[in-house]
Amino acid sequence: MNISGMRVLVAGAGGMLGRAIVARLAARGAADVIALKREECDLREQREVREMLARIRPQVVINCAGTGGGILVNTRRPAEFFYDNLLIGTLLLHESWRAGVGNYMAFICGCCYPDKAPSPLREETLWDGYPQVTSAPYAVAKKVAAVQSEAYRRQYGFHSVVLLLGNLYGPGESFDLTESHVIPAFIRRFHEAVRDNLDEVVLWGSGAPVRDFIFVEDAAEAAVIAMEKYDGPEIINISSGDGIAVRELAALIAELSGYLGRLVWDSSRPDGQAQKVYDVTRMERLLGYRPRVSLREGITKTIEWFRDNYAGASERG
């Protein structure tokens, strides 16, 4: 598919991934891209979704919309996370099919994998157990997109693709400490520790878990490639395939932030899953893509963005 000649709707375009995908589409020469932000349409309301699609008449829909965050906010808002993500995903796919959209893309996340799934995480193991309990309501709601996509493809021939994102990070993410993921949380903590000349920073957990991160620009590029060249029922992991212990990650971010104090680990706080590294064989085979931005380079870019936008970034929820 030559996506540059299509009318493309990017839902959730105000978020980190949505903004990056809009930018990648522009770089591809796409001239008819509608960047739909949260305040412009309540995607939990079927009437609004239906009216929006009838008005815009997109040929392609890329769904980056949803409600999410780190471990802490998942434990505080499980019902909201389940309800919002279930409705947004279900309604937008159904109404896109109903409106005659030609191609649809949705994203699910690494927490959709079973709590005990072996690492590296292979797409075939997605249904081998229940997700990690802390984020299960969010994960189960997102995981429904995979079932719905396959069902609509099988019954209606609907061209729907689902990508599973690793731990996404980059400019534009939330740096609100009550809601953020690990990289933005560390960046903000070390930035403020340098500012306040702190001798030590206390971090959650043991630092032992291993995680696999992908820079948002790499994820956006992979998504656009998938929209251009892939049309199949198989879910595809989109990540780096390289793991790093959270303790090593913290040391790297402290170094890049210029923080020289002590790092203290509060092991009474939850770690989450012990190992979460992704098998990216399918991504390489079906998309011919490997991420290009190293973790050091991506974190450096994210720190620079945060410093330039500190006031707004630290308050964003």
Task: State how beta strands 243-245 and 210-215 pair.
Answer: antiparallel
**What is the residue type of 26?**
A
Query: Which of the 8 DSSP states describes residue 133?
Result: G
Closest CA to 212 of 275, 273, 270: 275
Half-sphere exposure of 56 (CA within 13 A, CB side): 26
3-state secondary structure (DSSP) of residue 293: coil
Give the number of other CB atoms < 10 A from CB of residue 149. 23
Give the number of other CB atoms < 10 A from CB of residue 100. 10
- CA dist., res. 238 & res. 278, Å (int): 8
- CA dist., res. 208 & res. 19, Å (int): 32
Q: Where in the sequence numbering do the catalytic residues fall?
A: 138
Q: How many helices (H) and strands (E) does the chain have?
A: 11, 12
Cα 219 from chain centre: 8
- Do the Cβ atoms of 127 and 73 come closer than 8 Å? no
- CA dist., res. 226 & res. 214, Å (int): 16
Q: Which residues contact 264 (CB under 8 A, 6 or more apart)?
A: 200, 201, 202, 203
For 11, list phi and psi in degrees, rounded to 5. Answer: -85, 140
List 211's β-bridge partners, or say none. Answer: 244, 276
